[in-house]
């Protein structure tokens, strides 16, 4: 009888410990999910707002969660635990990568519009307009995204902020060194005077030449970038085809320790190759 009571007491103690452990795990998971949601929504909202994209970050977060579940299930069904982990990582990094691509394309479009805008601003200054009026013309007559950025600059200037500070913030939003030259020319002209129209015209011609050279470089290095994509995706495609033909043998890569070593070595070598190809084709003017 005493033995049964002791056994029951041990079972009750184990059950209580398991219950408490489950509660702690659920609390940790809930706290982590809440922090991840706040960070995701905050980062995504800031990126969308910077790129003038109207979307609901909460809805995008819900879509991201569904995408994580779907891709994780598909990855587990096709490859196993490794496929599930890889699919979840891709789904988590996907929204941030998409925002980064959109921001990069918007920056390139801004740089493409900037020389014409500087020439228009120089013409307005020669016609007798002041710098503020010239910037207002850019905000109303130039296409987005350039008009959007100068609209923000003028709105901040009209509520009492210094023009130099507004231009500096635009430089932070548009991560490009070309704006440093424009901001420096405008700030020097406002402080010490000088012919700003000639300075902006010279800067516009310099940027046009720079864009022309960069276009030639992109055309000459396009084959190298294509080869990089082929070299990077070919091993993945071959591995997938071999997995479909010989699943038992290929499954050793994901279930045995030496398979993990092989995958790690392959991943490191592919990362080094991608980095080297990027360094070769990415020529800074």
Thinking of the domain 110-207, which architecture would CATH place it in?
Up-down Bundle (1.20)
Say if residues 157 and 132 touch (Cβ distance below 8 Å). yes
User: What residue spans of 1-56 are helical by DSSP H?
Assistant: 2-50
For 30-87, write each residue's pLDDT tens digit: 666 677 677 677 777 777 777 777 777 777 777 777 777 777 777 777 666 666 777 7
3-state SS assignment for residue 84: helix
DSSP string, 49-83: HHTT----HHHHHHHHHHHHHHHHHHHHHHT-HHH
| Distances, alpha carbon 85 to alpha carbons 67, 72, 152, in Å | 13, 7, 42
Q: Break the chain into its structural domains and give their ranges.
A: 12-103, 110-207, 215-281
For 146-162, write each residue's pLDDT tens digit: 888 888 888 888 888 88
Q: Say yes or no to pLDDT of 242 above 70.
A: yes
Q: Say yes or no to pLDDT of 8 above 50.
A: no
How far apart are the C-alpha atoms of 76 and 116, rounded to whole Å? 52
3-state SS assignment for residue 128: coil
For 182-203, write each residue's pLDDT tens digit: 888 887 777 776 788 888 888 8
Q: Which residue has the tokens 């591995």?
A: 239
What is the model's pLDDT at position 3? 46
Per the document, the length of the chain is 285
């Amino acid at each position: 009888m005493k033995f049964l009571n002791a056994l029951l007491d041990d079972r009750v103690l184990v059950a209580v410990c398991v219950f408490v452990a489950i509660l702690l795990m659920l609390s940790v998971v809930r706290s982590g999910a809440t922090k991840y949601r706040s960070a995701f929504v905050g980062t995504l909202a800031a990126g969308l707002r910077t790129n003038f994209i109207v979307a609901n970050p909460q809805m995008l977060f819900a879509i991201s969660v569904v995408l994580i579940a779907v891709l994780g299930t598909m990855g587990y069904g096709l490859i196993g635990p490794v496929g599930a982990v890889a699919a979840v990582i891709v789904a988590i990094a996907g929204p941030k990568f998409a925002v980064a691509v959109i921001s990069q394309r918007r920056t390139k479009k801004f740089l493409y519009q900037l020389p014409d805008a500087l020439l228009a601003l120089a013409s307005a200054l020669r016609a007798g307009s002041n710098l503020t009026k010239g910037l207002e013309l850019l905000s109303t007559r130039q296409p987005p995204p350039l008009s959007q950025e100068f609209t923000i600059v003028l709105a901040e200037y009209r509520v009492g902020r210094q023009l130099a500070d507004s231009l500096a913030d635009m430089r932070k939003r548009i991560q490009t060194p070309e704006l440093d030259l424009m901001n420096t020319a405008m700030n020097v002209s406002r402080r010490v005077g000088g012919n700003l129209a000639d300075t902006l015209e010279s800067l516009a011609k310099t940027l046009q030449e720079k864009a022309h050279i960069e276009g030639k470089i992109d055309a000459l290095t396009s084959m190298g970038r294509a080869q990089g994509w082929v070299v990077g995706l070919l091993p993945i495609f071959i591995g997938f085809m071999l997995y479909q033909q010989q699943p038992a043998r290929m499954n050793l890569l994901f279930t045995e320790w030496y398979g993990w070593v092989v995958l790690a070595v392959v991943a490191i070598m592919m990362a080094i190759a991608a980095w080297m190809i990027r360094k070769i084709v990415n020529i800074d003017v």
